[in-house]
Structure 1
Amino acid sequence: MKRRSSVATIIYQSRQIHCDAILWDKDGTLLDFMQLWGQWAEQLLSRIEAFLQERGHSFTGHREKVMGTIYDPSGRLVGYDPRGPIAIASAPETIAILSWQLYSAGIPWDEAVRHITEFSRQAMEHMEQSKPVQPLPELVPLLDRCRQASIPMAVVTSDYTSEAIKHLRWSGLENYFTGMIGSDQVSAGKPAPDLALLACERLSVLPERTVLIGDSNADMQMGRQAGLACCIGISPTAGDTGHLPDADIVIQHYGELQIRSTE
Protein backbone atom coordinates (compact mmCIF):
# COMPACT_ATOMS: atom_id res chain seq x y z
CA MET A 1 0.00 0.00 0.00
CA LYS A 2 1.43 3.38 -1.01
CA ARG A 3 1.50 6.10 1.60
CA ARG A 4 -1.05 8.86 0.93
CA SER A 5 0.66 11.72 2.77
CA SER A 6 4.28 12.63 3.30
CA VAL A 7 6.02 11.26 6.37
CA ALA A 8 8.40 14.17 6.86
CA THR A 9 9.85 17.37 5.47
CA ILE A 10 13.53 17.87 4.77
CA ILE A 11 14.49 21.51 5.22
CA TYR A 12 17.50 23.01 3.44
CA GLN A 13 17.84 26.77 3.83
CA SER A 14 14.51 28.15 2.57
CA ARG A 15 13.56 25.01 0.67
CA GLN A 16 11.19 22.37 2.05
CA ILE A 17 11.08 18.89 0.50
CA HIS A 18 8.18 16.65 1.47
CA CYS A 19 9.08 12.98 1.38
CA ASP A 20 7.97 9.49 2.32
CA ALA A 21 11.43 7.91 2.26
CA ILE A 22 15.14 8.59 1.83
CA LEU A 23 17.56 6.55 -0.26
CA TRP A 24 21.25 6.74 0.57
CA ASP A 25 24.35 5.88 -1.39
CA LYS A 26 26.95 4.14 0.81
CA ASP A 27 30.54 5.03 -0.02
CA GLY A 28 31.31 8.73 0.29
CA THR A 29 27.76 9.39 1.51
CA LEU A 30 27.36 7.32 4.66
CA LEU A 31 30.97 6.20 5.05
CA ASP A 32 34.21 8.11 4.52
CA PHE A 33 35.30 6.98 1.07
CA MET A 34 39.08 7.17 1.46
CA GLN A 35 39.02 5.60 4.90
CA LEU A 36 37.30 2.52 3.48
CA TRP A 37 38.50 2.22 -0.11
CA GLY A 38 41.84 4.04 -0.13
CA GLN A 39 43.64 1.19 1.60
CA TRP A 40 41.95 -1.39 -0.62
CA ALA A 41 42.85 0.51 -3.81
CA GLU A 42 46.50 0.84 -2.79
CA GLN A 43 46.74 -2.85 -1.92
CA LEU A 44 45.12 -3.84 -5.20
CA LEU A 45 47.09 -1.48 -7.44
CA SER A 46 50.38 -2.52 -5.82
CA ARG A 47 49.63 -6.19 -6.47
CA ILE A 48 48.75 -5.49 -10.11
CA GLU A 49 51.82 -3.31 -10.60
CA ALA A 50 54.12 -5.99 -9.15
CA PHE A 51 52.50 -8.63 -11.37
CA LEU A 52 53.06 -6.48 -14.46
CA GLN A 53 56.64 -5.57 -13.54
CA GLU A 54 57.54 -9.24 -13.08
CA ARG A 55 56.61 -9.68 -16.74
CA GLY A 56 58.39 -6.59 -17.99
CA HIS A 57 55.29 -4.42 -18.26
CA SER A 58 53.69 -1.49 -16.45
CA PHE A 59 50.30 0.21 -16.31
CA THR A 60 49.11 1.45 -19.69
CA GLY A 61 49.08 5.00 -18.29
CA HIS A 62 49.86 6.77 -15.04
CA ARG A 63 48.93 4.83 -11.91
CA GLU A 64 46.41 7.49 -10.84
CA LYS A 65 44.50 7.08 -14.10
CA VAL A 66 43.90 3.34 -13.63
CA MET A 67 41.13 3.82 -11.05
CA GLY A 68 41.05 7.55 -10.37
CA THR A 69 43.28 7.72 -7.29
CA ILE A 70 45.10 10.97 -6.44
CA TYR A 71 48.62 11.18 -4.98
CA ASP A 72 50.73 13.95 -3.47
CA PRO A 73 54.29 14.68 -4.75
CA SER A 74 55.72 12.06 -2.37
CA GLY A 75 53.49 9.35 -3.84
CA ARG A 76 51.12 9.16 -0.88
CA LEU A 77 47.46 8.49 -1.67
CA VAL A 78 45.51 11.60 -0.67
CA GLY A 79 42.23 11.50 -2.58
CA TYR A 80 40.19 10.25 -5.48
CA ASP A 81 38.47 11.53 -8.59
CA PRO A 82 34.71 11.67 -7.88
CA ARG A 83 34.16 11.19 -11.62
CA GLY A 84 36.48 8.17 -11.80
CA PRO A 85 35.95 4.40 -11.71
CA ILE A 86 36.89 4.06 -8.05
CA ALA A 87 33.98 6.33 -7.14
CA ILE A 88 31.36 5.23 -9.65
CA ALA A 89 32.10 1.81 -11.15
CA SER A 90 30.29 -1.28 -9.91
CA ALA A 91 32.32 -4.25 -8.64
CA PRO A 92 32.06 -6.16 -11.97
CA GLU A 93 33.00 -2.99 -13.88
CA THR A 94 36.05 -2.53 -11.65
CA ILE A 95 37.19 -6.10 -12.29
CA ALA A 96 36.81 -5.52 -16.04
CA ILE A 97 38.71 -2.21 -15.99
CA LEU A 98 41.63 -3.73 -14.08
CA SER A 99 41.63 -6.96 -16.11
CA TRP A 100 42.22 -4.86 -19.21
CA GLN A 101 45.54 -3.74 -17.73
CA LEU A 102 46.70 -7.36 -17.72
CA TYR A 103 45.17 -8.15 -21.08
CA SER A 104 47.02 -5.22 -22.65
CA ALA A 105 50.24 -6.78 -21.29
CA GLY A 106 49.53 -10.02 -23.16
CA ILE A 107 47.65 -12.00 -20.51
CA PRO A 108 44.65 -13.92 -21.95
CA TRP A 109 41.38 -12.31 -20.86
CA ASP A 110 40.12 -15.27 -18.80
CA GLU A 111 43.43 -15.45 -16.94
CA ALA A 112 43.46 -11.68 -16.45
CA VAL A 113 40.00 -11.76 -14.86
CA ARG A 114 41.05 -14.65 -12.62
CA HIS A 115 44.19 -12.84 -11.44
CA ILE A 116 42.38 -9.55 -10.78
CA THR A 117 39.60 -11.33 -8.89
CA GLU A 118 42.23 -12.98 -6.69
CA PHE A 119 44.14 -9.73 -6.14
CA SER A 120 40.88 -8.04 -5.14
CA ARG A 121 40.08 -10.88 -2.74
CA GLN A 122 43.48 -10.47 -1.09
CA ALA A 123 42.98 -6.72 -0.74
CA MET A 124 39.51 -7.32 0.73
CA GLU A 125 41.01 -9.81 3.17
CA HIS A 126 43.39 -7.12 4.38
CA MET A 127 40.41 -4.78 4.79
CA GLU A 128 38.58 -7.41 6.84
CA GLN A 129 41.35 -7.29 9.40
CA SER A 130 41.42 -3.51 9.84
CA LYS A 131 37.68 -2.74 9.27
CA PRO A 132 38.48 0.84 8.14
CA VAL A 133 35.01 2.38 8.34
CA GLN A 134 34.14 5.88 9.53
CA PRO A 135 30.68 7.50 9.23
CA LEU A 136 30.73 10.99 7.77
CA PRO A 137 30.65 13.90 10.24
CA GLU A 138 27.17 14.81 11.56
CA LEU A 139 25.64 11.78 9.83
CA VAL A 140 24.53 9.85 12.92
CA PRO A 141 22.56 12.77 14.45
CA LEU A 142 20.77 13.19 11.10
CA LEU A 143 19.98 9.47 10.93
CA ASP A 144 18.64 9.67 14.48
CA ARG A 145 16.34 12.54 13.51
CA CYS A 146 15.15 10.59 10.46
CA ARG A 147 14.38 7.58 12.64
CA GLN A 148 12.55 9.75 15.16
CA ALA A 149 10.44 11.08 12.28
CA SER A 150 9.71 7.46 11.20
CA ILE A 151 11.19 7.98 7.73
CA PRO A 152 11.81 4.66 5.95
CA MET A 153 15.37 4.53 4.63
CA ALA A 154 17.28 2.26 2.28
CA VAL A 155 20.82 2.04 0.94
CA VAL A 156 21.37 1.91 -2.83
CA THR A 157 24.96 1.05 -3.67
CA SER A 158 27.18 -0.04 -6.54
CA ASP A 159 28.77 -2.47 -4.10
CA TYR A 160 27.53 -6.03 -3.64
CA THR A 161 24.70 -6.32 -1.11
CA SER A 162 26.65 -8.64 1.20
CA GLU A 163 29.59 -6.22 1.28
CA ALA A 164 27.32 -3.25 1.98
CA ILE A 165 25.67 -5.05 4.89
CA LYS A 166 29.09 -5.95 6.29
CA HIS A 167 30.45 -2.40 6.03
CA LEU A 168 27.39 -0.89 7.71
CA ARG A 169 27.58 -3.52 10.43
CA TRP A 170 31.22 -2.58 11.07
CA SER A 171 30.21 1.08 11.34
CA GLY A 172 27.17 0.45 13.56
CA LEU A 173 24.78 1.98 11.00
CA GLU A 174 23.03 -1.17 9.81
CA ASN A 175 19.92 -0.86 11.97
CA TYR A 176 18.98 2.56 10.60
CA PHE A 177 17.98 1.02 7.26
CA THR A 178 15.10 -1.24 6.33
CA GLY A 179 16.39 -1.85 2.81
CA MET A 180 19.82 -2.70 1.43
CA ILE A 181 19.99 -2.80 -2.36
CA GLY A 182 23.31 -3.68 -4.00
CA SER A 183 24.20 -3.79 -7.68
CA ASP A 184 23.91 -7.58 -7.65
CA GLN A 185 20.13 -7.23 -7.23
CA VAL A 186 19.51 -5.35 -10.49
CA SER A 187 20.34 -5.84 -14.15
CA ALA A 188 21.66 -2.29 -14.62
CA GLY A 189 23.56 -0.33 -11.98
CA LYS A 190 24.01 3.42 -11.61
CA PRO A 191 23.29 5.71 -13.40
CA ALA A 192 20.33 3.56 -14.52
CA PRO A 193 17.25 3.97 -12.28
CA ASP A 194 16.95 0.28 -11.35
CA LEU A 195 18.46 0.48 -7.85
CA ALA A 196 16.28 3.43 -6.85
CA LEU A 197 13.10 1.95 -8.30
CA LEU A 198 13.68 -1.39 -6.58
CA ALA A 199 14.33 0.38 -3.27
CA CYS A 200 11.07 2.34 -3.59
CA GLU A 201 9.22 -0.88 -4.34
CA ARG A 202 10.73 -2.58 -1.28
CA LEU A 203 9.83 0.39 0.92
CA SER A 204 6.31 0.64 -0.61
CA VAL A 205 6.76 4.31 -1.48
CA LEU A 206 6.30 6.32 -4.65
CA PRO A 207 9.50 7.51 -6.38
CA GLU A 208 8.08 11.02 -6.67
CA ARG A 209 7.81 11.16 -2.86
CA THR A 210 11.33 9.84 -2.27
CA VAL A 211 14.61 11.74 -1.73
CA LEU A 212 18.08 10.52 -2.68
CA ILE A 213 21.37 11.50 -1.04
CA GLY A 214 24.64 10.64 -2.80
CA ASP A 215 28.14 11.87 -3.55
CA SER A 216 28.50 11.14 -7.28
CA ASN A 217 26.71 12.38 -10.36
CA ALA A 218 25.85 8.77 -11.17
CA ASP A 219 23.72 8.88 -8.01
CA MET A 220 22.06 12.08 -9.19
CA GLN A 221 21.40 10.69 -12.67
CA MET A 222 19.93 7.54 -11.17
CA GLY A 223 17.58 9.61 -9.04
CA ARG A 224 16.50 11.78 -11.95
CA GLN A 225 15.84 8.80 -14.20
CA ALA A 226 13.81 7.17 -11.43
CA GLY A 227 11.69 10.31 -11.05
CA LEU A 228 12.63 10.95 -7.43
CA ALA A 229 11.41 14.07 -5.63
CA CYS A 230 14.87 15.50 -4.96
CA CYS A 231 18.49 14.49 -5.49
CA ILE A 232 20.82 15.85 -2.81
CA GLY A 233 24.55 15.74 -3.45
CA ILE A 234 27.13 15.87 -0.68
CA SER A 235 30.58 17.30 -1.34
CA PRO A 236 32.63 17.92 1.84
CA THR A 237 35.18 20.10 0.03
CA ALA A 238 34.04 23.72 -0.01
CA GLY A 239 33.27 24.98 -3.49
CA ASP A 240 33.87 21.59 -5.11
CA THR A 241 30.49 20.92 -6.69
CA GLY A 242 31.35 20.72 -10.39
CA HIS A 243 31.15 16.92 -10.36
CA LEU A 244 27.47 17.06 -9.32
CA PRO A 245 25.78 18.93 -12.22
CA ASP A 246 22.56 16.93 -11.92
CA ALA A 247 22.03 17.52 -8.18
CA ASP A 248 19.03 19.57 -7.08
CA ILE A 249 20.87 20.59 -3.92
CA VAL A 250 24.53 20.25 -2.91
CA ILE A 251 25.48 20.27 0.76
CA GLN A 252 28.90 20.31 2.37
CA HIS A 253 27.88 18.57 5.60
CA TYR A 254 24.79 16.97 7.12
CA GLY A 255 24.29 19.76 9.62
CA GLU A 256 22.78 21.74 6.72
CA LEU A 257 19.71 19.48 6.64
CA GLN A 258 16.84 19.64 9.12
CA ILE A 259 14.09 17.05 9.51
CA ARG A 260 10.51 17.79 10.54
CA SER A 261 7.91 15.10 11.02
CA THR A 262 4.54 15.74 9.37
CA GLU A 263 2.65 12.84 10.91
Structure 2
Amino acid sequence: MLVRTMTPADLAACAALTQEVKWPHRLADWQMMLKLGEGLVAERQGNIVGSTLYWRWGAQRATLGLIIVAGAMRGRGIGSALLEQALQRLSGMTLHLHATAAGAPLYRRFGFVGMDEVIQYQTPRLIAPSSATAAMPAATCEDLPALAQLDYRANGFYRLSLLKQLLAEGASIIVARQKDLASGFAVTRRFGYGFTIGPVIAPDAATAQRLITQAMRPLAGEFVRIDSRSQCGLGPWLARCGLQAVDRPLRMVRGDEWQPQGITAWSLMSQAMG
Protein backbone atom coordinates (compact mmCIF):
# COMPACT_ATOMS: atom_id res chain seq x y z
CA MET A 1 0.00 0.00 0.00
CA LEU A 2 1.19 3.50 -0.89
CA VAL A 3 0.17 6.70 0.91
CA ARG A 4 0.77 9.73 -1.31
CA THR A 5 -0.32 13.32 -1.87
CA MET A 6 -3.85 13.74 -3.22
CA THR A 7 -4.17 15.36 -6.65
CA PRO A 8 -7.21 16.67 -8.55
CA ALA A 9 -7.11 13.52 -10.68
CA ASP A 10 -7.93 11.47 -7.56
CA LEU A 11 -11.13 13.29 -6.67
CA ALA A 12 -13.61 11.17 -8.62
CA ALA A 13 -12.35 8.09 -6.75
CA CYS A 14 -12.50 10.00 -3.46
CA ALA A 15 -16.09 11.04 -4.16
CA ALA A 16 -16.89 7.37 -4.71
CA LEU A 17 -15.54 6.63 -1.22
CA THR A 18 -17.98 9.12 0.28
CA GLN A 19 -20.82 7.56 -1.70
CA GLU A 20 -19.89 4.16 -0.28
CA VAL A 21 -20.21 5.44 3.31
CA LYS A 22 -23.38 7.38 2.35
CA TRP A 23 -21.93 10.82 2.97
CA PRO A 24 -23.40 13.55 0.76
CA HIS A 25 -20.24 15.07 -0.74
CA ARG A 26 -20.39 15.68 -4.48
CA LEU A 27 -17.37 15.81 -6.77
CA ALA A 28 -17.78 19.60 -6.78
CA ASP A 29 -17.53 19.60 -2.97
CA TRP A 30 -14.28 17.61 -3.10
CA GLN A 31 -12.89 19.98 -5.71
CA MET A 32 -13.60 23.04 -3.60
CA MET A 33 -12.16 21.44 -0.47
CA LEU A 34 -8.89 20.44 -2.15
CA LYS A 35 -8.46 23.96 -3.57
CA LEU A 36 -8.34 25.25 0.00
CA GLY A 37 -6.39 22.45 1.62
CA GLU A 38 -4.20 19.41 1.15
CA GLY A 39 -4.93 15.72 1.03
CA LEU A 40 -3.55 12.21 1.11
CA VAL A 41 -4.76 9.03 -0.52
CA ALA A 42 -3.98 5.39 0.20
CA GLU A 43 -3.45 3.45 -3.00
CA ARG A 44 -3.33 -0.33 -3.48
CA GLN A 45 -2.69 -1.95 -6.85
CA GLY A 46 -3.53 1.32 -8.58
CA ASN A 47 -6.85 1.77 -6.75
CA ILE A 48 -7.58 4.45 -4.18
CA VAL A 49 -8.73 2.74 -0.99
CA GLY A 50 -8.51 5.60 1.53
CA SER A 51 -8.44 9.38 1.84
CA THR A 52 -8.03 12.32 4.14
CA LEU A 53 -8.02 16.09 3.73
CA TYR A 54 -6.64 18.79 6.01
CA TRP A 55 -6.65 22.57 6.10
CA ARG A 56 -4.18 24.96 7.72
CA TRP A 57 -6.16 27.92 9.07
CA GLY A 58 -3.24 30.16 10.00
CA ALA A 59 0.05 29.14 11.58
CA GLN A 60 -1.31 27.44 14.69
CA ARG A 61 -4.53 25.53 13.93
CA ALA A 62 -5.73 23.08 11.33
CA THR A 63 -8.76 20.90 10.72
CA LEU A 64 -8.89 17.35 9.37
CA GLY A 65 -11.72 15.50 7.69
CA LEU A 66 -12.87 12.99 5.09
CA ILE A 67 -10.79 10.23 6.71
CA ILE A 68 -12.33 7.30 4.84
CA VAL A 69 -11.26 3.73 4.13
CA ALA A 70 -13.01 1.55 1.55
CA GLY A 71 -15.22 -1.03 3.22
CA ALA A 72 -13.35 -4.03 1.83
CA MET A 73 -10.03 -2.67 3.13
CA ARG A 74 -10.91 -1.81 6.71
CA GLY A 75 -9.02 -3.35 9.59
CA ARG A 76 -5.66 -3.24 7.79
CA GLY A 77 -4.24 -0.09 9.36
CA ILE A 78 -5.00 2.17 6.41
CA GLY A 79 -6.81 4.79 8.49
CA SER A 80 -3.92 4.84 10.97
CA ALA A 81 -1.38 5.25 8.17
CA LEU A 82 -3.29 8.16 6.63
CA LEU A 83 -3.75 9.88 9.98
CA GLU A 84 -0.11 9.37 11.00
CA GLN A 85 1.18 10.92 7.79
CA ALA A 86 -1.25 13.85 8.06
CA LEU A 87 -0.09 14.49 11.64
CA GLN A 88 3.54 14.49 10.48
CA ARG A 89 2.74 17.19 7.94
CA LEU A 90 0.87 19.22 10.57
CA SER A 91 3.50 18.86 13.30
CA GLY A 92 3.32 21.56 15.97
CA MET A 93 -0.23 22.66 15.13
CA THR A 94 -3.36 22.30 17.25
CA LEU A 95 -5.70 20.00 15.31
CA HIS A 96 -9.49 19.79 15.19
CA LEU A 97 -11.78 17.13 13.74
CA HIS A 98 -15.26 15.66 14.08
CA ALA A 99 -15.41 11.93 14.73
CA THR A 100 -17.97 9.25 14.08
CA ALA A 101 -18.47 6.74 16.87
CA ALA A 102 -16.44 4.23 14.84
CA GLY A 103 -13.59 6.66 14.25
CA ALA A 104 -13.22 8.16 17.74
CA PRO A 105 -11.10 5.31 19.23
CA LEU A 106 -8.52 5.74 16.44
CA TYR A 107 -8.25 9.46 17.07
CA ARG A 108 -7.90 8.97 20.82
CA ARG A 109 -4.92 6.71 20.18
CA PHE A 110 -3.29 9.62 18.37
CA GLY A 111 -3.88 12.08 21.22
CA PHE A 112 -7.21 13.66 20.29
CA VAL A 113 -9.53 14.49 23.18
CA GLY A 114 -13.33 14.60 22.95
CA MET A 115 -14.88 18.00 23.67
CA ASP A 116 -18.58 18.14 22.81
CA GLU A 117 -21.07 17.01 20.21
CA VAL A 118 -21.85 18.71 16.94
CA ILE A 119 -25.44 18.11 15.90
CA GLN A 120 -26.34 17.85 12.23
CA TYR A 121 -29.77 19.35 11.58
CA GLN A 122 -31.50 19.08 8.23
CA THR A 123 -34.74 19.10 6.33
CA PRO A 124 -35.39 17.63 2.88
CA ARG A 125 -37.79 20.45 2.04
CA LEU A 126 -37.45 23.74 3.88
CA ILE A 127 -40.48 25.80 4.75
CA ALA A 128 -39.00 29.27 4.57
CA PRO A 129 -39.65 31.33 7.72
CA SER A 130 -41.45 34.64 7.70
CA SER A 131 -39.90 37.55 9.54
CA ALA A 132 -40.59 41.23 9.91
CA THR A 133 -36.94 42.10 10.54
CA ALA A 134 -35.09 44.30 8.06
CA ALA A 135 -32.85 42.50 5.59
CA MET A 136 -29.13 42.50 6.27
CA PRO A 137 -26.73 43.40 3.45
CA ALA A 138 -24.68 41.02 1.38
CA ALA A 139 -20.94 40.99 1.97
CA THR A 140 -18.55 42.56 -0.51
CA CYS A 141 -14.87 41.76 -1.02
CA GLU A 142 -14.06 44.75 1.18
CA ASP A 143 -15.93 43.16 4.11
CA LEU A 144 -14.00 39.90 4.07
CA PRO A 145 -10.97 40.85 6.23
CA ALA A 146 -13.31 42.03 9.02
CA LEU A 147 -15.39 38.84 8.72
CA ALA A 148 -12.23 36.74 8.85
CA GLN A 149 -11.33 38.45 12.13
CA LEU A 150 -14.76 37.61 13.57
CA ASP A 151 -14.28 34.00 12.48
CA TYR A 152 -10.85 33.94 14.12
CA ARG A 153 -12.23 35.29 17.40
CA ALA A 154 -14.92 32.59 17.41
CA ASN A 155 -12.87 29.59 16.24
CA GLY A 156 -9.17 30.38 16.31
CA PHE A 157 -9.14 29.73 12.55
CA TYR A 158 -7.91 32.46 10.19
CA ARG A 159 -9.88 31.71 7.04
CA LEU A 160 -9.75 34.74 4.78
CA SER A 161 -8.83 32.42 1.88
CA LEU A 162 -11.99 30.41 2.56
CA LEU A 163 -14.24 33.47 2.55
CA LYS A 164 -12.68 34.72 -0.69
CA GLN A 165 -13.20 31.33 -2.34
CA LEU A 166 -16.81 31.10 -1.15
CA LEU A 167 -17.64 34.55 -2.50
CA ALA A 168 -15.88 33.82 -5.80
CA GLU A 169 -17.87 30.60 -6.21
CA GLY A 170 -21.23 32.29 -5.68
CA ALA A 171 -21.98 31.60 -2.03
CA SER A 172 -24.26 34.05 -0.26
CA ILE A 173 -22.65 35.89 2.68
CA ILE A 174 -24.85 38.24 4.70
CA VAL A 175 -23.51 40.58 7.35
CA ALA A 176 -24.98 41.79 10.65
CA ARG A 177 -23.78 45.24 11.65
CA GLN A 178 -23.66 47.30 14.83
CA LYS A 179 -22.83 50.99 14.45
CA ASP A 180 -21.73 50.35 10.86
CA LEU A 181 -19.23 47.67 11.94
CA ALA A 182 -19.60 43.99 11.08
CA SER A 183 -20.74 42.07 14.16
CA GLY A 184 -21.57 38.72 12.57
CA PHE A 185 -22.18 36.90 9.31
CA ALA A 186 -23.74 33.83 7.75
CA VAL A 187 -22.72 31.87 4.66
CA THR A 188 -25.10 29.86 2.47
CA ARG A 189 -23.63 27.58 -0.19
CA ARG A 190 -24.46 24.55 -2.27
CA PHE A 191 -23.30 21.32 -0.67
CA GLY A 192 -24.30 17.69 -0.86
CA TYR A 193 -28.03 17.20 -1.37
CA GLY A 194 -28.87 20.91 -1.42
CA PHE A 195 -27.67 23.82 0.68
CA THR A 196 -25.82 24.30 3.94
CA ILE A 197 -25.90 27.39 6.15
CA GLY A 198 -22.58 27.96 7.86
CA PRO A 199 -20.41 29.26 9.18
CA VAL A 200 -22.70 31.46 11.20
CA ILE A 201 -20.69 33.76 13.46
CA ALA A 202 -22.56 36.10 15.81
CA PRO A 203 -22.28 37.72 19.24
CA ASP A 204 -25.53 36.25 20.58
CA ALA A 205 -28.34 33.81 19.79
CA ALA A 206 -30.75 36.53 18.65
CA THR A 207 -28.32 37.78 16.00
CA ALA A 208 -27.54 34.21 14.92
CA GLN A 209 -31.24 33.47 14.50
CA ARG A 210 -31.78 36.64 12.46
CA LEU A 211 -28.90 35.70 10.17
CA ILE A 212 -30.14 32.13 9.73
CA THR A 213 -33.73 33.29 9.17
CA GLN A 214 -32.62 35.60 6.36
CA ALA A 215 -30.39 32.89 4.90
CA MET A 216 -33.36 30.50 4.81
CA ARG A 217 -35.77 32.82 3.02
CA PRO A 218 -34.59 32.07 -0.57
CA LEU A 219 -34.41 28.31 0.13
CA ALA A 220 -38.09 27.34 0.32
CA GLY A 221 -38.55 23.76 -0.85
CA GLU A 222 -34.81 23.02 -0.79
CA PHE A 223 -32.78 20.52 1.21
CA VAL A 224 -31.08 22.54 3.97
CA ARG A 225 -28.45 21.47 6.50
CA ILE A 226 -26.96 23.22 9.54
CA ASP A 227 -24.20 21.78 11.76
CA SER A 228 -24.17 23.36 15.23
CA ARG A 229 -22.33 22.55 18.44
CA SER A 230 -24.67 21.14 21.08
CA GLN A 231 -23.66 23.78 23.63
CA CYS A 232 -25.02 26.51 21.34
CA GLY A 233 -28.56 25.34 22.11
CA LEU A 234 -30.06 26.09 18.71
CA GLY A 235 -31.88 22.75 18.52
CA PRO A 236 -35.34 23.77 19.79
CA TRP A 237 -35.40 26.85 17.56
CA LEU A 238 -34.19 24.90 14.51
CA ALA A 239 -36.88 22.28 15.19
CA ARG A 240 -39.50 25.04 15.04
CA CYS A 241 -37.98 25.98 11.68
CA GLY A 242 -38.50 22.39 10.51
CA LEU A 243 -34.94 21.06 10.81
CA GLN A 244 -34.41 17.81 12.71
CA ALA A 245 -31.30 16.35 14.34
CA VAL A 246 -29.98 13.40 12.32
CA ASP A 247 -26.39 12.88 13.53
CA ARG A 248 -24.14 13.75 16.50
CA PRO A 249 -20.41 13.45 15.75
CA LEU A 250 -17.91 14.15 18.51
CA ARG A 251 -15.76 17.27 18.27
CA MET A 252 -12.17 16.36 19.10
CA VAL A 253 -9.03 18.46 19.61
CA ARG A 254 -5.34 17.56 19.72
CA GLY A 255 -3.68 20.46 21.51
CA ASP A 256 -5.09 23.51 23.26
CA GLU A 257 -8.81 24.20 23.09
CA TRP A 258 -9.68 27.64 21.69
CA GLN A 259 -11.43 30.10 24.01
CA PRO A 260 -13.87 32.28 22.01
CA GLN A 261 -13.21 36.00 22.24
CA GLY A 262 -16.65 37.52 22.78
CA ILE A 263 -18.29 35.87 19.77
CA THR A 264 -19.64 32.40 18.95
CA ALA A 265 -19.63 30.02 15.98
CA TRP A 266 -23.31 29.02 15.90
CA SER A 267 -22.93 26.86 12.79
CA LEU A 268 -19.92 25.22 11.15
CA MET A 269 -18.64 25.64 7.62
CA SER A 270 -18.69 21.82 7.55
CA GLN A 271 -17.77 18.96 9.83
CA ALA A 272 -14.55 18.49 7.84
CA MET A 273 -13.46 22.13 7.62
CA GLY A 274 -14.70 23.31 11.01
| TM-score, with length taken from structure 2 | 0.28
Question: Going by fraction, where is strand more abundant, 1 or 2?
Answer: 2
